[in-house]
Amino acid sequence: MNRKKKRLLLSDIILMFLLIAVDQITKYAAVIKLKGNQPWVLLEGVFEFHYLENRGAAFGMLQDQKFFFILIAAVILLVIIYVLIKTPYQKMYIKLHVSLVFIASGAIGNLIDRIRFDYVVDFLYFSLINFPIFNIADIYVTLSAVFLVILLLFVYKESDLEFLSFRAKKSRDIK
């Protein structure tokens, strides 16, 4: 691994730590200020801070499946680490790196909660559309996953991602 690639991976790790810190600090603030209290309405009928201990996934699905969520998060993180390491050091892949770092940060942020508390602290609520209560880590994962899909569908060509193919590697090795 060359020096520039190592620097990029170090940047990924630093960004990840910063994003996780923001997530954990906001959750800590939610616990201190909101737990056991009435929701704090920021814009009446639109947005409020509302404390919730989420033992499931999005929309309350899969309640009390802690080990399932830990396993899924671990698999996702391993795949992301693999892709980050395998990705060539080229400017065209910076967006891929950033989106994967945001997804990993969100997964780790919620994983920390699940391991520490057996639930995830959620506190952001759009009452205007009665959207399920969520947190900063959820924003990281959701927006970055959408961005990643856009990258894969509209930005990168199949040939741009050959570095991820086991088959492509074998054919290169045979030559």
CB-facing half-sphere around the CA of 109: CA atoms within 13 A: 29
Compute and round to an integer the Cα radius of gyration of the chain.
19
Which residue, among 25, 21, 42, 59, has the nearest Cα to 126 in the 3D structure? 42
pLDDT of residue 59: 61
Catalytic residue among 64, 138, 160, 173: 138
| Cβ contact 155:166 at 8 Å | no
Q: Any catalytic annotation for residue 138?
A: yes
pLDDT of residue 174: 45
Q: Could you state, in chain order, the average pLDDT of each consecutive group of 10 residues for the chain (175 residues)? A: 92 98 99 98 97 83 81 96 94 97 98 95 97 97 98 95 74 46
Residue 48, helix vs strand vs coil:
strand
| Cβ contact 165:86 at 8 Å | no
Q: Any catalytic annotation for residue 122?
A: yes
Catalytic residue among 12, 122, 160, 173: 122
User: CA 149 to CA 137: how far, in whole Å?
Assistant: 18
Give the start-to-end residue ranges of the domains of the chain.
3-174
pLDDT of residue 1: 78
Overall pTM > 0.85: yes
User: CA 90 to CA 45: how far, in whole Å?
Assistant: 46
Q: What are phi and psi of 77, to 5 degrees?
A: -65, -40
Which residue, among 49, 73, 72, 69, has the nearest Cα to 122 in the 3D structure? 49
Alpha carbon separation from 10 to 5, 97, 163 (Å, rounded): 9, 12, 21
Helix %, strand %, coil % of the chain (to 5): 70, 10, 20
